[in-house]
Copies of this chain bind each other. A is one copy, B any other.
Amino acid sequence: MVNQKRTVFYLSDRTGITAETLGHSLLTQFDGIEWNTINVPFLDDIEKAHNVTRQINEIAECEDHKPLVFSTLLNPEFLEIIKQANCRVFDFFEAFICPIEEELRLPFARMAGRSHGLQHHLSYFKRIAAINYVLAHDDGVNPKSFEEADIVLIGVSRSGKTPTCLYLGLQYGIAAANYPLTQDDMQVMQLPKVLQSARAKLFGLTLSAAQLHFIRQERRPNSTYASLAQCQHEIQWQESLFRQYNIPHLDTTRISIEEISATILNRCGLRRQLYG
């Protein structure tokens, strides 16, 4: 139920990812508001600051509510200009930098683009290598080089292996392979041979048969492949397999790619380094 319409601005000297991530997590805690979101990344000259100020004032007048402004602006001059507008500014650096400076006994650098920029070439190349690894080891391709994998996700078709591997590679630099469990494997209650040497790296993705049915219907409507009976059969089979071989696994029915990935890293004790 929508009770209010409000506008939120995300202002940043660079990508705006930090401002948006932080503002989004605050605003999702409030129900009943329809948000009009305006992103202003790369706010790097005074004219842009004045333009945004005008836009804020126009919206404030039109909506009869102050827009909320989440800022990671590092340029104090631009931030001052924005603060003159008819809005409520939440500045992330202002809120935290002083007590951190005090604790570390160091001044902060006030350099834009450090959080999502190219600070560390080596770890950046590790990330690109991880993405390439994921693409080269999707859907059971190249199982011979699973020994280089950090993790190998397994599960039946459409259980969410590929998006999760991509997220692990892109956001965390994890070399994530995946291997589909198929009809052929189901003939025998046995782990596919090619996975046996990667036993310690296996992680299973499962979900409710109803959800799997829904997802497969989108792909191949009214096929045997998508039928609820087939989905029930495959899910039952794979969950028995996971238990039989003591493979850690996760029910992904109600959780997002971010939650699946964070859970896998946590349960497998993989070192995480957030890039995004």
Q: A87-125 interface mask toward B, CB cutoff 8 Å, 1 = contact, 0 = none?
A: 010101101110110011010111101111111000010
Contact yes or no, B26 A100, CB < 8 A: yes
In the assembled complex, the Cα of A197 lies from the Cα of B14 at a distance in Å of: 32
Given contacts A108-B30, A170-B167, A255-B117, contact A274 B100 (CB under 8 A): no
A266→B42 contact, CB < 8 A: yes
* Nearest opposing residue in chain B for A6, CB measure: B104
| CA–CA, A18 and B21, complex, Å | 6
A183 at the interface (CB under 8 A from B): no
Copies in the complex: 2
Question: How big is the A interface, by class?
Answer: 35 or more
> CB distance B263 to A128 under 8 Å?
no
Whether a CB of chain B sits under 8 angstroms from the CB of A20 is yes
When chains A and B are docked, how far (Å) is the Cα of A28 from the Cα of B163?
Answer: 29
CB-based contact A25/B92 at 8 Å: yes
Instruction: Find out whether the CB atom of B21 lies under 8 angstroms from the CB atom of A258.
Output: no
Chain B nearest CB from A52 CB (Å) reads: 14
Chain B minimum-CB-distance residue to A16: B262
* Contacts A21-B21, A66-B103, A106-B33; A97 near B26 (Cβ below 8 A): yes
**A96: chain B residues within 8 A (beta carbon):** 22, 26, 90, 95
Q: A88-B99, A95-B95, A110-B29 are in contact. Are A15 and B258 (CB under 8 A)?
A: yes
A16-B262, A22-B22, A96-B90 known; A118 and B254 CB under 8 Å? yes
Chain B residues, Cβ within 8 Å of A144? none
Q: Given A117-B259, A258-B116: A24 and B274 within 8 A (CB)? A: yes
Interchain residue pairs with CB less than 8 A apart (30): A4-B106, A14-B259, A17-B262, A18-B21, A21-B274, A24-B115, A26-B97, A26-B100, A29-B93, A29-B108, A29-B114, A30-B108, A33-B104, A41-B262, A42-B266, A68-B103, A90-B96, A90-B99, A95-B96, A116-B256, A116-B259, A117-B256, A117-B258, A118-B259, A124-B256, A128-B163, A131-B162, A170-B170, A171-B276, A276-B276
